[in-house]
Amino acid sequence: MTNGKWRMTNEQMGIFKESSEGTSFAVKVIPRAHKNQIVGVEGDALKIRLTAPPVEGKANDALIEFLAELLGVRRAQIEILTGRASRHKVVRVRGVTAQQIQKACQS
């Protein structure tokens, strides 16, 4: 699911924020890509390419589905907190630690 050509630095791993409600992080979505994949970190956001177009919530649904599969959680555990109509989003995953997300993103 990832391209395997990049590794997060210790500084980049700080993009994941844990709270009692779950782990949240910023995402930059690139819609209409060739395949669904994580391509790295851009600024303070995880950069994710998705095949879905950015219309009628399709890219948001694809993002949730991609993250659920990547992290091995139910779709209901993933929530887009901000940016539903933007390429820049903040996502929260319940029941998963920041370390688990970091590990999954780099596998």
Domain with residue 28: its CATH number is: 3.30.1200.10
pTM (two decimals)? 0.89
When pLDDT is cut at 50, 70 and 90, the band that residue 9 belongs to is low
What are the backbone dihedrals phi and psi of residue 74, each rounded to the nearest 5 degrees, phi first? -75, 150
When pLDDT is cut at 50, 70 and 90, the band that residue 3 belongs to is very low
When pLDDT is cut at 50, 70 and 90, the band that residue 2 belongs to is very low
Residue 73: give the domain boundaries. 17-97
Contacts by residues 34-43 (CB-CB < 8 Å, ≥ 24 positions apart): 36/1, 36/62, 36/66, 37/1, 37/2, 37/3, 38/1, 38/2, 38/3, 38/70, 38/105, 39/2, 39/3, 39/6, 40/6, 41/6, 41/8, 41/12, 41/15
In a domain, 7, yes or no: no
Q: Which pLDDT value is given to residue 102?
A: 87
Are 54 and 31 in contact by the 8 Å Cβ rule? The answer is: yes
